[in-house]
Structure 1
C-alpha cells in the first residue's frame, strides 16, 4: 500500500488526491529540489501534506518497483517495469537538449573490453549506453551511486564511467575526459530531446490532480527562483552555487511543466528502440492512456 496515511482512492471530481499525506520520493539533485520545493513546503493550494524521501535514482527506481510511494521520480528506462503500479504524469519530467549522460575515462579512448561503472541498470543513462555501445565489445559493468563514479574512474578502479547530473560540469576537476556525449548521439540520430526522468503517480490516485499539483510546484519555482534557494543548496551535496544554477537551467524547462507531443514522442522513441533491441519488455497496450491530456 505504500506510505500514504489514507486509502489511495481516486478523486473523480479532480482537485486534491484522496490521501491525507502524499508519499513523495525524489532525488536530492537541484532540479528535483527546485521543482518540488513548493509542493514539499505546503505552498501548492489544495495539495495534501507531503512526506518526502530523498534517494539516488537507482534507489528511486527500486522503490517504484516495490510500489512504496504515491509520487516518485524514475528513469524513463524503467517505465516498462512500473506501469502496472503507476501512471506517467504530464508534469515534472526531466527532458532536454545538451543534457545527456557522458562516458568518461582517465585518458583511455578504446572501450573494447573496458570495465565500466554505471549509476544503475534501469537508468536511462545505461539504456542509452547500451544502444550506443551495442557493437563496441564492452567488458564488465558495475553499479555505484552516481556521486561515486568519477572518483572511482579517477582512482583507476574502472576504465570508464557513465555519469549524469552535475557531473557534466565537474568532471574536468577529476582529470577525466569525455569520450562520448550520449545526448549528442541521441539528438543526432532522432532529432528529439533526451528523455531522462519522469514523475509517476500511484494508480488509484487521480493522475490529473497529481499532475496539476506538480505543474503548480514547477511554476512556483520559476516564478520565484529565490524561494527555493536555501532548500536546494541544503540538499546539493556541497555543490558550488554556479554548478547548482547550471544544473537547474539544464534539467528544469518547459518539458517539466508539460511533456507535450514532442516529449511523448521522445519517450516513445527511446522505449521503441529499446524494445526493438531486446533491452526492455514492450509496454502493455494502453499503459500510458491514463496520464492527463496535454496542455
Structure 2
C-alpha cells in the first residue's frame, strides 16, 4: 500500500523518516509518495486534506481534528526547544511592543500561539517563511521576528539579538513541555495501517539513532548548506524521547496547548479522541 507522506527538509524530520522512506528498514508492505515542504505549506495542505500522512505544527492541529488524528511517534516536543523573539538591537523596549510589527513563521504555527501568549497586545504581524525572517529583521521590514529551527543557532552570527525565549516563557507559565510539531494521519486511513506506520516511524528513528553521529546523505542533501555541527545541534534539540512516544507527559502538554488555543481564539474544541 502506498501512502502520501509530507514532512519538512529540516534535519530532525529527515533523521526521523530517512530509514522509513528509503527502505533501510522493512516497511512491511508500505511505500510512500514523499513530499518535502516547509511546515507552513504542510499546514495549509493539511487544512485542505491533501495528504494522508503529514508533519504539521501543533498550531494548526485544533483546526484539523475533524479530518486527522495524531500519531504518538515522529513529532517534536521538548524543553528548551521553543522559538525565540529577536531584534536588531539588544535594547529593544518591550514596553513599546504594542507598536511593533513582528514577523511570524506562519499563521497556524506553534510559534504564533507562543508569541501571542507572551505578547497579546501585538496586532501588527507579518506571516512569512521561517528562513526569510532574519533578513526581514536585518533590513528593517519588521521591528522583531520569531525564529525557529536552525535559526536558533545562527542568528547571533548575523548580529541579531534575543529579546525573549518564547519557549521558556511557555514552560514557566504552563509547567509543560513545548508542543512544536506532530504527525497526523487522515481518518480515511485504516486504523491498523496508522498504527503500523507509528511503529515503523519508531523503528526508523532507532535506525538513525544507531548510525548517529553519522549523518546520512538524505539528511545532508536536504539541509540547505548547514554545517554538520548545526545539523547535529538541530537533531539533538528536536529528536528526543517524545519523538518515539508522546507518553502521558507529552499528551498533557498537547492538551495544555489546545486549551491555550481555545482561550486565545474563544473557541471550544472537541479534543477527547485525537490519537490513533
Smaller-chain TM-score range? over 0.9
Task: Considering fraction of residues, name the structure with more helix.
Answer: 2
Per-residue deviation, 1:34: 0.5
1:97 and 2:79 equivalent? yes
Checking the alignment, whether the CA contact within 8 Å between 1:29 and 1:235 is kept in structure 2 is yes
TM-score (norm. length: structure 1)? 0.87
Question: 255, 272, 276: which is aligned to 1:286?
Answer: 272
Checking the alignment, whether the CA contact within 8 Å between 2:65 and 2:271 is kept in structure 1 is no
Per-residue deviation, 1:208: 1.3
1:66-122 C-alpha deviation (Å, 9 max, x unpaired): 111121000112111111111100001100111100001001333231111111011
Question: 138, 142, 148: which is aligned to 2:122?
Answer: 138
1:189-209 C-alpha deviation (Å, 9 max, x unpaired): 222111100000111322311
Question: 178, 183, 196: which is aligned to 1:194?
Answer: 178
Structure 1: gaps (5+ residues): 1-19
Checking the alignment, whether the CA contact within 8 Å between 1:38 and 1:217 is kept in structure 2 is yes
Question: 251, 255, 267: which is aligned to 1:268?
Answer: 255
Instruction: Tell me how large the CA RMSD over aligned residues is.
Output: 1.5
Structure 2: gaps (5+ residues): none
SS in 2 for 1:112: helix
Count residues with an aligned counterpart.
Answer: 268
* Distance of 2:165 and 2:238 partners within structure 1: 16
1:29 and 2:15 equivalent? no
Alignment partner, residue 223 of structure 2 = 236
Question: 113, 118, 126: which is aligned to 1:127?
Answer: 113
TM-score (norm. length: structure 2)? 0.93
SS in 2 for 1:104: strand
